[in-house]
Copies of this chain bind each other. A is one copy, B any other.
Amino acid sequence: MNKLDRVCLHTITTKPWAIETAARKFSAAGISGISVWREALADRDPVNVQKILDGEGLEVVSLVRGGFFPDTNAKKRKDAIDQNKRALEEAAALSAPLLVLVCGADPGQSLEDSRNQIHDGIAELIPMATDLGVKLGIEPLHPMYADTRSAVNTMKQANDMAEKTGSVQVGVVVDVDHLWWDPDLEKEIQRCAALDKLFAFHICDWNVPTRDFLFDREIMGKGCIPVSRIRKWVEEAGFNGYNEVEIFSNHYWQQDQVLHSL
């Protein structure tokens, strides 16, 4: 097997490149998968983008991202649902089999209330997601984002929530950056795979020291996350999808975007 066979890049990783450039460069580097951030679509017609990606031999792995369901304001929760429905339509137009969910949190209410609103939001999307053939992937986020970005902060919580929906359409996205510290990670990865809900695997590394709450991720092997070990857990549990490289980094974005490090 070619070592790049199961490699996917997120457009955010090479954010300075327009998606047309990214598609050409990813393809030239021998990469076969792409996860598209909605920001990269801008005003483009996703059907046209899909044709470009297809022309470069790239498989669309996921659309990133939906979510942000919780809000103390009911009108804003409804707006979030509408926004997620648009994301589902875009995913279908792109032939993306998965919409990644950064679930959200509202610091004006308890984490339990936010989690209840996340559950309700996902439940409301399931019929449309099923019709369109797009799966919904709950991505648990690091507890450092529990204030505003996600009230789902461990693999166990994500598994519990996905299971509670009772839908095969809903599963979990494992991102090493968010979960590497979790003492129950291996066990919950196995549980997730046994539930047939391990939908995606995101990789990067944790910079030591990390200088920014969002945009200081590292390239695999340069930080302190045991990426290979977690990948082994995921693969031994039966996952055979892409290793998705998702690196947000002001440091790397300021440089020329090259793919030599893969």
Question: Measuring CB to CB, which residues of chain A are less than 8 angstroms from any residue of chain B?
Answer: 107-108, 110-111, 142-144, 146-148, 153-154, 156-157, 180-183, 206, 208-211, 213, 223-224, 226
Contacts and interface: CB of A to CB of B under 8 A. Distances in A.
Given A153-B181, A157-B183, A181-B143, A148 B208 contact: yes
5 smallest beta-carbon distances between A and B, as pairs: A107-B224, A146-B181, A144-B144, A143-B181, A107-B208
Contacts of A146: 180-181
Question: Within the oligomer, what is the number of copies of this chain?
Answer: 2
Contacts of A206: 147
Nearest to A144: B144
A210 to B, nearest CB: 7
B147 A210 contact: yes
Contact of A142 (B144, B157, B211, B226): B144
Nearest to A211: B213
Nearest to A178: B143
